[in-house]
Amino acid sequence: MAGVLAVIIFGLVLLYIGRIFFITLITSVLLAFILEPAVNLFMRFKFPRASASFLACSLMLGVLYLLGLGLWSQVIALWNDLPAYSERVGQIVDSMMQQIETVEKNLQEAVVPKRLREAAPPPIETKPQAKARRLRSQPPPQPPAEPSVQEVRIRPEQTPLVRELYSRLSDVYDSLLMASFVPFLVYFFLSWRDHVRRSLITLAGPERKDNFQRAWDGIANVARAYVVGNFLLGVMLSLVSALFFWYVNLPYWQVIGPLSGFLSLVPYLGLPLAVAPAVIAALPVYAGLGAYLIITSVVAVLHLIALNLLYPKVVGGRVHLNPLVVTVALMLWYLLWGGAGLVLAIPITAGMKAAFDQIPSLREYGRLLGD
């Protein structure tokens, strides 16, 4: 028992330390499973597997490039309209402060009678208030003397803000660097799929060949069903949301619609994430509270319909995970990998269940994860 616990702890530590590597690897595997039908389609036209894999990857990159180009054009337009958004946010903050002051004044008038307010003694100055008054009465501090050349050389230059900024930029650089490997990994997974599968079957042994083959197919089917199902649901939500945002004259509906649609599919956080882009885009257009309530209500209805009616039919029938396992998996993978863990938690857990179901010694664990 102690050995099993030590192996689990070691595995969790390894997953946390190498999270960027594992996120890149698993994302590439999922994309390879998604593109496998396209590779098979090209192979029907007598293309070799390497050429078919190259065409499938090129198609994926072309679609991503067109989507990124359209998104970039909308981001530039949004950047030019930032002054209008800043002005509108300032107006909203001022209005809220005025309302708070009005409510506070009304409460004071309702609680304290007028004659008591007129006869009330002047407020007693507290110690913090007296200290603040003395500080205001003091002359402003003189600027520090210029340090000598020797002091400048010895004193460290990096401030906490600079170190934090450097750390963030380093994380972004590492993520972008690892993301650049994704197209190559997807291509190699697709073009060398048969070789990798034969090698793994050889390592597993001939007596486990059938079990390994079924586990491989189960993981591929589950991963493909989950990713493709979520993608189709995201496209449907994006189209309906974009049409609604266009109807209510929401700015940048071409970007806000897909963003709201796909964010709606994030587990547990989908509803607030889907509402936020639409509400932010509506700031310079609508002033009344009613418009924001209508937008929020429509997005919430679309979110509930997608998750409660469409999701079980499109995705849930192929995943077969019980709600407790889904919740624990989301918590665990979020702690290990952050936001990427929320996206990859369900396909990873569903793939593990598909593999456990095909291995006789692990079927009980598969039943534990299942519904």
Contact yes or no for 257/233 (Cβ under 8 A): no
Give 110-149 pLDDT, tens digit per residue. Answer: 765 655 555 555 556 566 666 666 666 666 666 555 555 5
Per-residue pLDDT reduced to its tens digit, 53-78: 899 888 888 888 887 777 777 667 66
Residue that wins the pLDDT comparison between 152 and 179: 179
pLDDT for the residue numbered 243: 92
Q: What is the 3-state secondary structure (H, E, C) of the chain?
A: CHHHHHHHHHHHHHHHHCHHHHHHHHHHHHHHHHHHHHHHHHHHCCCCHHHHHHHHHHHHHHHHHHHHHHHHHHHHHHHHCHHHHHHHHHHHHHHHHHHHHHHHHHHHHHHCCHHHHHHCCCCCCCHHHHHHHHHHHCCCCCCCCCCCHHHHHHCCCCCHHHHHHHHHHHHHHHHHHHHCCHHHHHHHHHHCHHHHHHHHHHHHCHHHHHHHHHHHHHHHHHHHHHHHHHHHHHHHHHHHHHHHHHHCCCCCHHHHHHHHHHHCCCCCCHHHHHHHHHHHHCCCCCCCHHHHHHHHHHHHHHHHHHHHHHHHHHHHHHHCCCHHHHHHHHHHHHHHHCHHHHHHHHHHHHHHHHHHHHCHHHHHHHHHHCC
Whole-angstrom Cα distance, residue 277 to residue 279?
6
Asked if residues 329 and 316 have their Cβ atoms less than 8 Å apart, the reply is: no
What pLDDT sits at residue 112?
59
Q: What backbone phi and psi angles, to 5 degrees, belong to 220? A: -65, -45
Is pLDDT of 257 > 80?
A: yes
Q: Is 60 exceeded by the pLDDT of residue 156? A: no
Token digits for 9?
Answer: 């702890």
Q: Residue 365's pLDDT band (boundaries 50, 70, 90)? A: confident
Contact assessment for residue 332 and residue 345, using Cβ atoms and an 8 Å cutoff? yes
Phi, psi torsion values for 162, nearest 5 degrees: -65, -40
CA dist., res. 55 & res. 1, Å (int): 49
pLDDT for 151: 47
pLDDT at 122: 57
Spatial CA neighbour of 226 closest among 317, 99, 132: 317
Q: How far apart are the first and last CA of the chain?
A: 27
- Stretch 10-26: mean pLDDT: 87
Residue 152 has pLDDT above 50, yes or no: no
Mean pLDDT of 156-172: 66
Q: Identify the CA nearest to 347 among candidates 273, 267, 274, 272.
A: 267
Encode pLDDT of 220-252 as tens digits.
777 777 877 788 888 888 899 889 988 888 887
- Which of these ranges, 54-58, 82-86, 147-151, 355-359, has the smallest mean pLDDT? 147-151
42 has pLDDT over 70: yes
Closest to 251 (Cα-Cα) out of 6, 4, 52, 75: 75
Q: What percent of the chain stands above pLDDT 90? A: 1
In whole numbers, what is the pLDDT of the chain averaged over residues?
77
Say how far apart CA 218 and CA 318 lie, in whole Å.
10
